[in-house]
Amino acid sequence: MPTPKHTGVLTMAQQECANHQEGHYCSSRDGDCILRSSKRCDYFERCVLPLAEKELPRQKEYARARDRYRRVHKISFDADERRCPDCGTILPRRKRYCLKCAKKRRTDSVRQIRWKARSLDNT
């Protein structure tokens, strides 16, 4: 089983597609999964890719796989669908990070500034 770091489109199809069976066999097409030959699959786009939006254990990896699939097949991204680079959730307008990640980054930044100030005071 691939590590979450290597989870891709095929792994996402393997784990979540209802038509996918052992050995990359697609029951709806009565043959090999067309994702293996880097072709577009309507069922995968309608039913499996939206799972990247849901709160699943592998949401980040699924979001990366979805983005890779869209890039390869030149499917345009919605302007409102920008993602947080840390957690992968959809961003509000004019924001660089989601609220939770922005708070974490701000806390880390303040902590680092204080740490540097303390180390300079001690010398």
Q: What is the pLDDT of residues 52-72, one digit of tens each?
A: 777 677 778 888 888 888 878
pLDDT reading at 3 higher than 70: no
Q: Which of 108, 102, 101, 103 is nearest to 116 (CA)?
A: 108
Q: How many Cβ atoms are within 10 Å of 48's Cβ, its own excluded?
A: 24
Q: Are 17 and 44 in contact (CB under 8 A)?
A: yes
Per-residue confidence (pLDDT) for residue 79, from 0 to 100? 52
Mean pLDDT of 32-45: 83
pLDDT reading at 87 higher than 90: no
Per-residue confidence (pLDDT) for residue 1, from 0 to 100? 41
CA–CA dist 115, 92 (Å, integer):
32
What lies within 8 Å, CB to CB, of 75 at 6+ separation is: 45, 69
CA–CA dist 88, 11 (Å, integer):
18
